[in-house]
Amino acid sequence: MAEFDVDIVLFDGFDELDAVGPYEVFDTARTFGADLDVSLVTRADTARVTASHGLLVEPHGMLDVETGPDLVLVPGGGWTSDDGGVRRVVDEGSLPEAVAALADAGTTVASVCTGAMVLAEAGLLDDRPATTHAAAVDDLAATASDVHDDSGVRAVDDGDVLTAGGITAGIDLAIWIVEREFGTEVAESVATELEHERRGTVVR
């Protein structure tokens, strides 16, 4: 089996935990035997990204739309602000276009929190089940056929498109992806190592 490549896409204004939580889950899974590589990437060439709470991050590289990873994850942050992170990248259009192209080429696409609005702009949530942060439920409902806004639902797995609720739900989503790809034992080892108590449900 080939190495499973995960790219987490960063942009100015992304929410730190949306990206760093899943990053640590995936990297920890690697230490428990998952043949997995995770990278923090950007759409444009940049040396540093500023997150919503001021964290400065040096990405590993750029998102390669030509080859594409096995899974690309889009964090949220800034949807409720006129010029916030997700709001801005949706308006700019480059990231939604890239995500759509990757999905067309067979890459699995995931989002955390209001990153779901990038997937919606890419046309990936039309008539599909999804979830997001409570602050964006009404906006997402305009694009998805079945929005799961119950607080007990941590993530929605619709095969090649997965979405998670707000912020910390990204950790549950990432652990679920590890379980889906590498088995329950690895996923449980990751949860134990991170001292994370999985809660809620993943709707499939």
Domains along the chain with CATH numbers: 4-203 (3.40.50.880)
List pLDDT tens digits, range 108-158.
999 999 999 999 999 999 999 999 999 999 999 998 889 998 889 999 999
3-class SS of residue 59: coil
List pLDDT tens digits, range 170-190.
999 999 999 999 999 999 999
**51-71: average pLDDT:** 97
**75-92: average pLDDT:** 93
- Quick one: what percent of the chain has pLDDT higher than 90? 94
List pLDDT tens digits, range 22-45.
999 999 999 999 999 999 999 999
Please report, for the chain, how many H helices and E strands are present, in that order: 7, 12
